[in-house]
Amino acid sequence: MSSYKTINQPSEGIYKEKGSKFFAYLCPISTEEQGRELLKEYKKKYFDARHHCYGMILGHDMAFQKSSDDGEPAHTAGTPILNRLKGAELCYVICIVVRFFGGTKLGVPGLIEAYKTATEDAINNASIIEVEIKEEINLVTDYLSVNEVMRALKIFDAELVHQNYTDAEVEFKINAKISNKQELINLLSKNYKIRFLEES
């Protein structure tokens, strides 16, 4: 895996059934704490809603997954939301679905359909982007080889995160795309004055 899908700005979706309204808010996040803060904001903004359910995915490999039914019957809200996010292969996102109860119970199948469809609508309205996965490279070189390092970064579209100048050497922290990280390392390794401190 050299890339993952996410969104670059929030989007919204809606589903209505038997008087109940389900508003879906799909937002990009980078940490669980950020997701929790967004949930607090939506709970405060829509304090009069009956439920505030969500699904959250973090990690380009979808390693972290969390959801909540927030009082709805088990697996009728959080799970459908999460499943739609997984189906769209989205990472680093949270989808919060706010329900305003319309007075008529929808039953388990109806709830699953409602939360799933509201989430789908938000996904369909989202601007989905593909992000290349990057890994860190740390190296040290002499001053004469700095230009060579900078040229290599440009060739492989790597990101210079930090430079530290000492009396005799320059330390580099680089974020390289996983798709061409090894090629970058191979090129820089041809210069014996370039030393790799560690490989991530």
| pLDDT above 70 (res 200) | no
- State pTM to two decimals: 0.84
The residues, any chain, with a CB within 8 Å of residue 104's CB and separated by 6 or more, are 18, 19, 20
pLDDT tens-place string over residues 165-183: 998 899 999 999 999 999 9
- CATH (one of 3.30.70.240, 2.30.30.360, 3.90.1150.10, 3.30.420.40) for 133-199: 3.30.70.240
Residue 73 binned pLDDT confidence (cut-offs 50, 70, 90): very high
Q: Please choose, from the candidates 37, 38, 30, the residue with its C-alpha nearest in 3D space to the C-alpha of residue 64.
A: 30
Q: How is the chain split into domains, by residue range? A: 3-130, 133-199
CA distance 90 to 61: 10
Q: 1 pLDDT band (50/70/90 cuts)? A: confident
Predicted confidence at residue 2, as pLDDT, reads 87
Q: In the chain, which ranges are continuous DSSP H helix?
A: 32-45, 78-87, 107-124, 146-155, 181-189
Between CA 9 and CA 199 the distance in angstroms is 33
**CA–CA distance, 94 with 65 (Å, rounded to integer):** 10
State which CATH number among 3.50.50.60, 3.40.50.11540, 3.30.230.30, 3.30.2030.30 fits the domain covering 3-130. Answer: 3.30.230.30
pLDDT at 130: 94
